[in-house]
A and B are shown apart, each in its own frame.
Chain A
Amino acid sequence: MKNDLVLRVIGKLLIPFILLFAVYVQFHGDYGPGGGFQAGTIFAAGIVFYALIFGLDNARKVVPDRLVEAMLATGVLLYAGVGVAGLLLGGNYLDYFVLDSDPIHGQHRGIFWVEAGVAVTVCGVMLKIFYMFASRGERDRDVP
Chain B
Amino acid sequence: MAFTVLVLARTRNLFGVVVLSGIYSFLMATVLIALDAVDVAMTEAAVGAGVSTVLMLGALHLCKSEEAKPAHRPWLPLALSTATAALLIYGALGLPDFADPNAPIHQHVAPRYLQNEIDVPNVVTAVLASFRGYDTLGETTVVFTAGAGIIALLRRRKGKRGSDEK
Contacts and interface: CB of A to CB of B under 8 A. Distances in A.
Contacts, number: 135
B150 interface: yes
Interface stretch (B37-45, B65-73, B88-96, B98-106): B37-45
B62, B143, B154, most chain A CB atoms within 10 A: B143
B2 interface: no
A139 interface: yes
Q: Chain A interface residue count: which class? A: 35 or more
Q: How many B residues touch the partner, as a band?
A: 35 or more
Interface in B112-149: 118-122, 124-126, 128-130, 133-134, 136-137, 140-141, 143-144, 146-148
B118 A34 contact: no
Interface of B: 38-39, 42-43, 46-47, 50-51, 54-55, 58-59, 61-62, 118-122, 124-126, 128-130, 133-134, 136-137, 140-141, 143-144, 146-148, 150-151, 154-156, 161
Interface of A: 25, 29-38, 41-42, 44-45, 48, 52, 69, 72-73, 75-76, 79-80, 83, 94, 96, 104, 107-108, 110-111, 114-115, 117-118, 121-122, 124-126, 128-130, 132-134, 136-137, 139-140, 143
